[in-house]
């Protein structure tokens, strides 16, 4: 598909982190100085997920007040709308912004207000995914989920688990997500970005609606079957996954394997600014590198609609637009 056509294609994104996707102009304005791209974007020679995560320090500094959080939501929607994004689920860790005088509830509400400001000006619909962080205490993560539960159906769609997967495996969080289930808070989980395929199995068995990345189930037909049979969505982020060394090289990336096995594969950016990417760039990359056909691009967008937390009327409208796109 030609570059301009890729950009105009109706899009849905499900795996995109707010702090890793803020524009350089927004961050420069908030910090009061011109920020160099190298301070925000990962270098070509990135060696690991740990090194990749270091690029989040500056953006998080810009998310410490109601005004900044609201402006960040608007900045995010303005950026994604530029490539005909119809619906996006943006994820962030409220505990990175909450502090004395700025509660978790206020953090979430400020971001919701900014996203709504953006929707009014640019038309892109959105929901928030709240991230529990692996390195934070169970008590703090659970308190955050309880606060976020108050906004469920009013802009918050689900919870998540993010952070250094190799250091804090899924087995440490079974209780947390059991409690989330008791709260009635749906969840998705980062699993298989690095670390063992067993993290994916445990996330699905805990009740995750979607798996973030899922690369480690490559070559594991039993886990692939589990993910397929449970109709668990798979949020693949090709360029980010290659940067963080989730696989050795492009030839080892399992997108074709997952598609051919009938998984509900979706294409995402992970972090637009950190990875210097967009959905249009991701789609062009997988067509060029893995021979993904035009009809498969549309299929993955339809998958994203189906496994999203968007309302039925939004889903129906976007599905019609994707199918009509020629």
Which are the catalytic amino acids? 193
Cβ atoms within 10 Å, residue 221: 10
Q: What are phi and psi of 239, to 5 degrees?
A: -65, -45
b/e burial code for range 262-272 (CB count within 10 A of at least 16 → b): ebbbbbbbbbb
Residues 6+ apart with CB under 8 A from 202: 170, 171, 174, 191
Distance CA 77, CA 204 (A): 30
Distance CA 258, CA 176 (A): 29
Q: Are the C-beta atoms of residues 187 and 208 closer than 8 Å to each other?
A: yes
Residues 6+ apart with CB under 8 A from 77: 88, 114, 115, 117, 118, 119, 121, 122, 124, 126
Q: Are the C-beta atoms of residues 215 and 241 closer than 8 Å to each other?
A: yes
Q: Which of 238, 278, 280 is nearest to 258 (CA)?
A: 238
């Amino acid at each position: 598909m030609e570059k301009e056509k890729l950009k105009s294609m109706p899009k849905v994104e499900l795996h995109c982190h707010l702090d890793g996707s803020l524009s350089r102009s927004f961050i420069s304005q908030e910090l009061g100085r011109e920020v160099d791209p190298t301070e925000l974007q990962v270098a070509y020679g990135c060696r690991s997920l740990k090194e990749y995560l270091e690029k989040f320090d500056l953006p998080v500094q810009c998310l410490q007040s109601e005004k900044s959080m609201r402006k960040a939501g608007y900045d995010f929607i303005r950026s994604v709308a530029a490539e005909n994004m119809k619906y996006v689920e943006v994820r962030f860790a409220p505990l990175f912004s909450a502090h004395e005088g700025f509660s978790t509830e206020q953090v979430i509400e400020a971001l919701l207000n900014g996203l709504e400001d953006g929707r009014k000006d640019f038309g892109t619909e959105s929901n928030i995914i709240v991230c529990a962080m692996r390195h934070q205490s169970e008590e703090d993560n659970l308190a955050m989920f309880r606060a976020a539960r108050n906004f469920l159906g009013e802009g918050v769609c689900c919870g998540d688990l993010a952070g250094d997967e190799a250091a804090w495996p899924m087995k440490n969080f079974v209780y947390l997500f059991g409690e989330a289930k008791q709260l009635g808070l749906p969840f998705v989980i980062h699993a298989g970005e690095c670390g063992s395929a067993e993290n994916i199995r445990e996330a699905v068995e805990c009740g995750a609606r979607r798996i973030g990345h899922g690369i480690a189930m490559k070559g594991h037909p039993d886990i692939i079957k589990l993910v397929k049979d449970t109709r668990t969505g798979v949020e693949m982020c090709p360029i980010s996954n290659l940067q963080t060394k989730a696989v050795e090289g492009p030839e080892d990336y399992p997108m074709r394997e997952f598609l051919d096995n009938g998984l509900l594969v979706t294409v995402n950016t992970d972090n637009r600014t950190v990875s210097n990417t967009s959905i249009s760039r991701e789609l062009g990359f997988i067509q060029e590198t893995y021979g993904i056909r035009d009809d498969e691009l549309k299929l993955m967008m339809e998958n994203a609609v189906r496994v999203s937390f968007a309302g039925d009327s939004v889903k129906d409208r976007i599905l019609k637009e994707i199918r009509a796109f020629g």
